[in-house]
Chain A
Amino acid sequence: MTKFRNLIIIFTSLFICLGIVSSTANALNSTKNPKPPCRIQIAHAHISKSVFLRYGVRAVKVNASSICNVPQSRVTLTVEIFKHGLFGPQLVGRSVTKVPGITYPGRRVDNFDTWRRCKTFEETRFFGKAFAKAFILGKWQFASDTYSIEIEPLKCGT
């Protein structure tokens, strides 16, 4: 009977300890990495192969999307393309997509319309930057600048 009682005490203590550890870990996670309501995804600068193969048109492109887990309205997603020049990064082009009305949670807002024509085959290093703003819970919220990872230079002089 005593052995049985001891066993119950050990198990109870173990569950309490696990509970504390788990809730502490959750608390730490939520304070260290509070999940942002919105996130931006940006792809690397590329030359659209399908367009080039089909029509012979060459353009450098950066695609980006924004997604929120809360309702938002008047979403604006801006995408910029930069190239590395002699004096640092140079803007190549910027485009903004404005979505009117309400965008529901989980619905993606895309900006797939940021591109510049390649005039030459000069090797150039490009990267993209995206940022967004939206009206969420009664105030303007801004999603910080998100940069694409740079890959190999593209044969695209703008």
Chain B
Amino acid sequence: MTYEGEIQLTPDEIIRESKILFTFQNLLITEKSRYESQANKLLEEISLHTKTTEYDLSYRINSDTYECRITNLDKSGNSYAIEIPIPNSQAEKLETLVELFAQSEAGFIN
């Protein structure tokens, strides 16, 4: 089934989208060393748990993806999951995990 339609983000959603991507970009720089040490820990232990002020973050390594389950601490709020395919090279693996950590901490639009 294909259903193509215009999905218009509201002005507020556009602002949130911008902020999230900007935050993501900043986190990649400012939190690089923390993310790298988290990545090494995750590669060693297969799973990892962290927390932000709003979410519980649960990372794990699946057979072909890196996954993060993001549980909202506010029970009435949305929860999320992000999955990224595991790349081949070791350097790319580290880079992808750093990206996953930043993406999961950058926030969500809805």
* A-B complex is real: yes
Listed in ascending order, the chain A residues whose CB lies under 8 Å from chain B are 39-44, 48, 50-51, 54-55, 57, 59, 63-65, 90-101, 110-113, 115-117, 144-149
C-alpha spacing A115/B23, complex, angstroms:
14
Contact A145 B82 (CB under 8 A): no
**A144 contact from B1, B25, B65, B78, Cβ within 8 A:** B1
Residues of B within 8 A of A50 (CB): 14, 17-18
Residues of B within 8 A of A110 (CB): 109-110
Task: Say whether, besides A100-B76, A146-B3, A147-B2, A113 and B83 are in contact (CB < 8 Å).
Answer: no
Task: Say whether, besides A41-B5, A94-B65, A57 and B79 are in contact (CB < 8 Å).
Answer: no
Q: Which residue of B lies closest to A80 (CB)?
A: B83
Which residues of chain B from 53 to 110 have any CB-CB distance to chain A below 8 Å in the complex? 65, 72, 75-85, 99, 103, 108-110
**Shortest distance from the beta carbon of B9 to any chain A beta carbon, whole Å:** 6
Contact B24 A57 (CB under 8 A): yes
Residues of B within 8 A of A117 (CB): 24, 99
C-alpha spacing A91/B84, complex, angstroms:
8
- For chain B, what secondary structure do more than half of its interface residues adopt (helix, strand, loop), or is it mixed? mixed
Residues of B within 8 A of A148 (CB): 2, 4
C-alpha spacing A65/B7, complex, angstroms:
8
- For chain A, what secondary structure do more than half of its interface residues adopt (helix, strand, loop), or is it mixed? strand
C-alpha spacing A148/B21, complex, angstroms:
23
Contact A145 B21 (CB under 8 A): no
Which residues of chain B from 1 to 59 have any CB-CB distance to chain A below 8 Å in the complex? 1-7, 9, 13-14, 17-18, 20-22, 24-25
**Shortest distance from the beta carbon of B75 to any chain A beta carbon, whole Å:** 6
Q: Which residue of A lies closest to B25 (CB)?
A: A57
Contact A149 B4 (CB under 8 A): yes
**Shortest distance from the beta carbon of A126 to any chain B beta carbon, whole Å:** 14
Contact A112 B84 (CB under 8 A): no
Contact B109 A112 (CB under 8 A): yes
Contact A149 B17 (CB under 8 A): no
Q: Which residue of B lies closest to A128 (CB)?
A: B4
Contact B110 A97 (CB under 8 A): yes
Lowest 5 A-B CB distances belong to which pairs? Answer: A96-B81, A94-B83, A112-B109, A43-B7, A149-B4
**B22 contact from A43, A57, A63, A115, Cβ within 8 A:** A57
C-alpha spacing A51/B18, complex, angstroms:
5
Q: Which residue of B lies closest to A98 (CB)?
A: B79
Q: List 19 A-B contacts (CB under 8 A).
A: A40-B3, A41-B3, A41-B5, A42-B5, A43-B5, A51-B17, A55-B22, A57-B22, A90-B85, A93-B83, A94-B82, A95-B81, A97-B79, A97-B110, A100-B76, A113-B108, A115-B103, A149-B2, A149-B4
